[in-house]
Structure formats: structure tokens, C-alpha cells
Amino acid sequence: MRDIYSVVMAGGRGSRFWPRSRKTNSKQTLNIVGRNTMIQDTVNRLVPVNGAEKVLVVTNSLLEGKIRAQLPMLPDGNIIVEPESRGTAPCIGLAAVVIQNISPGATMACFAADHLITDLPRFHSDVIFAAQVASELNVLVAFGVPIKRADPGLGYIQAGDILKTSDDNPARKVARFIEKPDMETALRFAQDPDYFANSGMFVWKADTFLIEVEKHLPDMHAGLMRIASSMGSPTEIKTIADAFRGFKTISVDHGVMEKSDRVAMIPAGFGWNDIGSWDSLYDVWPKDESGNAAIGRTLTIDSNNSLIYSPKKLVTTIGVEDLIIVETDDALLVCKRSDAQKVSGVVEILRGKKWEEYL
């Protein structure tokens, strides 16, 4: 098997974590879960797989300085800056071109910067097995997460025939992807052992991925090849900017994975949680006897099942339940936990009002 490179996608806005997450200090650069920031935790768990010199981080210009400061163990050239946000397909495509330029035929493992992973030894062994499958079978490998509870907000994978096994972990052909089904369908998936949650973590050979991009996103592939031809030249930065300006915004799931006929899935034997919104933290943070999860000093009277973040000010609640309360120096968020996904809409409204100081 050839070299394994890890790619961390860290250019997102994290708008569902407003008001803590801002455009120059987004979710991945914050200590949302523990002492370290999310990008630090992500990179730290990847270094044992292949060494710091083979971990690449793709981000944007607003976060570049902060990420470089938080990841001093990475070589300068391992921080790749996207000129514009165009979704995960161009992001991963750019990383694939960089890796092909460094080590033709290498395998790349792609991860988001905002996932919580537990059982790191199993995570490392699963990544190595996925790299073996991707290299030997020339397939695109997705990690599927066993479903613990029905969630219509997730994407799902239906697994088919077994392609290869390692101990008790089978690599299976992907029958289909299903994006955010209704609750009735999600409940059915949760009871069927052939369905898994789509983790958004992928492993493949860089050249295999680029072949699939050429099949399914030919315009994007042409732009990526222009970038590849400019690597190391004085026109590299301008070529990347020109190419991204012409790319459609599209995810790797919609653009490639759902269309390809060479996709495999490996069940994740490790613990996984997509820290996508304030409500997702409720499952992670410790709780008191009334089910309240809090950081900061709180006084909760007849209050239940709420998440409170207020490291500087005392928060007192009386007779409330199922709330999210988040306080920062210049903003306060209060909403129902069930409305946590709507927080990103607040950011769009603030942008429309041109209240840039809150973005």
C-alpha cells in the first residue's frame, strides 16, 4: 500500500454555533467540547496514523492565521487555503491535486474538523483498513456509523454485498445513499442492520477520486487539472483563484459519491458524533440531576434538560426546560433545543441587515 495522507476540511463557518462561532473564529478553532480546539483534537488523532508531515488542512483566508497558530506541528505547506468556499467537492479535489503532486498514487483519508471521535485505537485501525480497501480495490470508501437512534437530519447509507473483511469488520459495497429522510423512514432505517449513518469521512486513492470527478463533474475536473499544471509555478495562486471562481458549489456526496458505481462502506467501530449544532453538545456535556448541561455558573430552579454556556456571567433560570442559552461578550442566544438547526438562519438575517460586527 502506498502512502496515506490525511485531509482535514476546516473552512466551514460553523454558523449553527453562533454567537460563539464567528467568521474569523469559527467553530473548528474553538474549544467546543474539551480543553483543546476542535481542529487540534482532529489533527492530534490523525498524527499517529501517518505523522504530522502527511496531515493537510484545507481552510479559508480568514481562519488561516488562527489555524496555523493552533497547529505549530504542521509544516507551513500543509495548510492549504481555498480562495472561495465552494463546498466539499472542490475542497477535496484541491487536496487531491496537491497530494498527487507530492506522491502520485497515494491514498488520502478525508475528515471534517468538527467531529468527536472516541476509541482512538479502533479509529486508527479502521482508517488503515479503509486505506487498504481503497488501494487494493480502487474504490471510494465511506465510513458508515451504526444507527443508535432515528435522526431525520442525517444522511444514510444502505450497505450491500461484502467486498473484503478484516477480523470482524467487513467492507461492503454501497447500494445507495439517502439524504435526510422523513422520521418514519429514519425509524425504519434504525431497525435495519443494512443501514448506517453517513459520517462524512472518506478514504480513497487520490488518482481514483480524480477519475471519478472527471466522470461526474467534468468542468470541475478541468479546473483541477489547470491547477495541477500550475503547481510550483508563479501562476499557482492565480490559477487556483480563477478555477475556484468557476466551480459550482457542491458537496462530495452529491457530486461524486451518490453517482459513482465504485463506492464501498466500512462500519465505524469507533465512537462518532457530528458536533453540528448546540443541541448536539447536549449528548456530550455532563449533566446535573435535572438534565441540565452547563459551562459557567448557573442557578437552575425548576428547570430541566437545558444547555447553558456562560463562562463569565451567572445565568439563572426558573421554570424552563429544553432551552439553549449561550452568552458571549456582545450577544445572547436563547432558543428551544428543538430549534437548534435554525440558528444558522440568524446568521443569514444578521448578514442581510449588514450587522457585520456580530458575524
CA separation for the pair 228, 234 (Å, rounded): 13
263 with 346, same domain? no
The secondary structure of the chain, three-state, reads: CCCEEEEEECCCCCHHHCCCCECCECHHHCCCCCCCCHHHHHHHHHHHHHCHHHEEEEEEHHHHHHHHHHCCCCCHHHEEEECCCCCHHHHHHHHHHHHHHHCCCCEEEEEECCEEEECHHHHHHHHHHHHHHHHHHCCEEEEEEECCCCCCCCEEEEEEEEEEEECCEEEEEEEEEEECCCHHHHHHHHCCCCEEEEEEEEEEEHHHHHHHHHHHCHHHHHHHHHHHHHCCCCCHHHHHHHHHHHCCCCCHHHHHHCCCCCEEEEECCCEEEECCCHHHHHCCCCECCCCCEEEEEEEEECCECCEEEEEEEEEEEECCECEEEEECCCCEEEEEHHHHHHHHHHHHHHHHCCCHHHC
61 with 180, same domain? yes
Given 276, 297, 321, the domain boundary residue is: 276
349 with 285, same domain? yes
Pairing mode, strands 323-327 and 55-60: unpaired
259 with 353, same domain? no
Closest CA to 194 of 116, 265, 104, 90: 265
Given 276, 293, 320, the domain boundary residue is: 276
Q: What is the pLDDT of residues 206-256, one digit of tens each?
A: 999 999 999 999 999 999 999 999 999 999 999 999 999 999 999 999 999
Q: What is the pLDDT of residues 48-89, one digit of tens each?
A: 998 999 999 999 999 999 999 999 999 999 999 999 999 999
Residue 175 in this model has a pLDDT that exceeds 80: yes
265 with 283, same domain? no
240 with 181, same domain? yes
179 with 229, same domain? yes
pLDDT of residue 2: 52
162 with 304, same domain? no
Largest distance between two CA atoms of the chain: 65
Calculate the average pLDDT of the chain: 93
CA separation for the pair 236, 222 (Å, rounded): 15
Sign of the alpha-carbon dihedral angle for 217, 223, 224, 225: positive
Given 252, 276, 300, the domain boundary residue is: 276
Phi, psi angle pair for 81, to nearest 5°:
-105, 120
CATH number at residue 102: 3.90.550.10
173 contact partners, CB below 8 Å, separation of at least 6: 159, 160, 161, 162, 163, 263, 264, 265
217 with 172, same domain? yes
Residue 1's pLDDT band (cuts 50, 70, 90): very low
pTM, rounded to two decimals: 0.92
C-alpha cell at 108: 488520502
Average pLDDT over residues 103-125: 94
Average pLDDT over residues 99-118: 94
- Residue 329 sits in which domain range? 279-358
101 with 165, same domain? yes
- Tell me how many domains the chain contains: 2
167 with 185, same domain? yes
pLDDT of residue 71: 97
